[in-house]
A and B are shown apart, each in its own frame.
Chain A
Amino acid sequence: MIKIEEISKEFKEGIRSKKIKALDDLSLEVHKGEVFGFLGPNGAGKSTAIKILVNLIRPDKGKAFIMDRDVNDTGVRKHIGYLPENPYFYDYLTAEELLWFGGKTTGLSSLTIKQRADELFQKVNLQGARKRQLRTYSKGMVQRAGLALSLIHDPDVAILDEPMSGLDPLGRKMVGDIILELKARGKTVFFSSHILTDIERFCDRVGIIVAGRLRLVDRLDNLLIGENRLEDTFLREVEKAGGGMET
């Protein structure tokens, strides 16, 4: 469903254009109907990999595919729902207008948009605030509106970058329930997080990325054998990689 083939990406920083390696030869495959947790410390390259999948940035080397189509293909994004990390939307639009935009750009009819919006606002608990401008929303409410936007067109693949960030326990439970529901409906979910308990609760498989390199990919149940906790595996991999970010 999602295939990343030997992707590398460098960014230039500062006046001297110092090169920072964000991703180094990353290869990864996520299967249909799977919930894949992409785990890593801050600056590990999780968001960079995700932005390559939604074509916001382009790799220096390698290719990425979703549903066997190159991510450069604009049409593939009809099947993708993307929630950016700390999403920010147009201040003066209402949540309802935001979902209208999301629905229209994916070719939904006005009636379908209305039905889906009713359902999603209920799920993300924004029913009462749907007609309010987004500038009046709290951080958590914006996050929930973003989640509704990412799912308005009922995508086959949900790519969620830190979906729990900025949410209270109720909000986190709500996101968890949505992820589990997507899984039950055979959708593929690729989400990044550094909250290990979230990964443990929802994921079938886990990938640990440190300093731009994928250090480990395995089924979650293989990583939780006996006394083993995901945290131990994670800390071990970070330590092996030299502590986190490359400089």
Chain B
Amino acid sequence: MIALWPLAVITFREGVRNRALYGITLLALLLFIANFLISGMFMQEIGKVAVDIALSAVSLSGLLLVLFVGINLMAKDLDKKTIYMVLSRPISRFQYIVGKFLGMALLIVVTMIFLSMCAMLSIEIIKLAYPNYFQRFSWPMIFLALSFSTLTMLLLSALAFLFASFTSTSFITLVLTVIAYIIGQSLSDVKALVEAPQSVGIQVSSVTVKLVQIAYYLFPNLSLFDIKTQAAHGIFLTTSYVFWVVSYGLAYITLSITCAALIFQRREFP
């Protein structure tokens, strides 16, 4: 286990110095500035719009971070053969996956903390400008929404590691991760729809229902982590909901990384 920390550190350093990260951060900062302009254009519910835009900007930036920096961090090891310098040290393939993920997780957490602080600053400034529109506002819910967003990115990153463990190119990993994200975001709604088609007046075959149900248990239900609406409206969540969602996220990450490591153990690097 001695090798995990150095591997995590160099992965973090390589990620944090990547120019794509600066581009993503700049985009997020521009969105936070745009938040002042956009929120000011609404004559009602300014508080909800401001919170929604700020949280969405953090989520979008986090997604771009995972897709364009995270995937690249591992894919480059395979494409450019930098993995030779890692695996020729006393590091097993299992440790490689875990160490690399720890570095990526550190990068995601640090970046998300920075983006969250900027998002909260943008909300606070709008709140000072329009105090009447922030009656049902709750900082703990904003904090929770940002934490859930970070957990979503960690989960997505773990899935990207799983895909990278058996695919041959970074492009396929990227495509699979995007598909998993889209499915994960919409699966809950699709399941509700196919299980009660009569409510919208459509017919669904039993095979489709089964397929959707299988996908529901196979892919992570990312909509569980999306509490932007609740945060914008200042609606509190129960402690048990928070506990189960966090447990679900952590269990899914552990499972994905374990599977990735087990698959990776069989790989060769000619």
A-to-B contact residues, CB < 8 Å: 11, 48, 51, 54-58, 74-78, 80, 82, 84, 87-93, 97-98, 100-102, 104-107, 133, 146, 149
Contacts and interface: CB of A to CB of B under 8 A. Distances in A.
A183 B89 CA distance: 22
Contacts of A133: 17
B23 interface: no
CB-CB nearest 7 A-B residue pairs: A92-B17, A104-B6, A82-B88, A105-B89, A57-B268, A84-B84, A56-B269
Contact of A105 (B6, B80, B269): B6
20 contacts: A54-B84, A55-B87, A56-B88, A56-B268, A74-B92, A74-B95, A77-B89, A77-B90, A82-B84, A88-B82, A90-B14, A90-B82, A92-B14, A92-B18, A97-B13, A102-B89, A104-B2, A104-B5, A105-B6, A105-B90
A88 B81 contact: yes
Given A58-B268, A105-B3, A107-B2, A90 B10 contact: yes
B260 interface: no
Nearest to B16: A92
A89 B88 CA distance: 13
Given A56-B84, A75-B90, A149-B85, A105 B17 contact: no
Interface in B204-222: none
Interface in B66-113: 80-82, 84-85, 87-92, 95
Interface residues of B, number: 26
Nearest to B95: A74
A89 B87 CA distance: 13
B268 A77 contact: no
Interface of B: 2-3, 5-7, 9-10, 13-14, 17-18, 80-82, 84-85, 87-92, 95, 268-270
A201 to B, nearest CB: 26
Given A90-B14, A93-B13, A57 B269 contact: yes
B270 A51 contact: yes
Nearest to A73: B90
Nearest to A75: B90
Which interface residue of B5, B10, B13, B80 has the most chain A CB atoms within 10 A?
Answer: B10
A88 B90 contact: no
Contact of B80 (A76, A88, A97, A149): A88
A105 B270 contact: no
Given A56-B269, A75-B90, A105-B2, A97 B10 contact: yes
A102 B88 CA distance: 10
A128 B269 CA distance: 33
A245 to B, nearest CB: 15
Contact of B88 (A48, A75, A84): A84
A227 to B, nearest CB: 40
Given A51-B269, A56-B269, A101 B6 contact: yes
Given A90-B10, A105-B2, A105-B89, 17 more contacts: A11-B270, A55-B87, A56-B84, A56-B87, A56-B268, A57-B270, A74-B92, A75-B90, A77-B89, A87-B85, A93-B14, A101-B6, A101-B7, A101-B9, A104-B3, A104-B5, A105-B7
A97 B14 CA distance: 11
Contact of A84 (B10, B85, B92, B268): B85
A106 B88 CA distance: 11
Contact of A100 (B6, B85, B270): B6
A77 B270 contact: no
A105 B85 CA distance: 11
Nearest to A149: B85
A105 B99 CA distance: 11
B13 A89 contact: no
A244 B100 CA distance: 40
A101 B13 CA distance: 12
Contact of A106 (B5, B82, B89, B270): B89
A89 B85 contact: yes
Interface centre among A56, A74, A105, A107 (most CB of B within 10 A): A105
Contacts of B18: 92
Which of A11, A48, A51, A56 is the most central at the interface, judged by chain B CB atoms within 10 Å of its CB? A56
A92 B85 contact: no
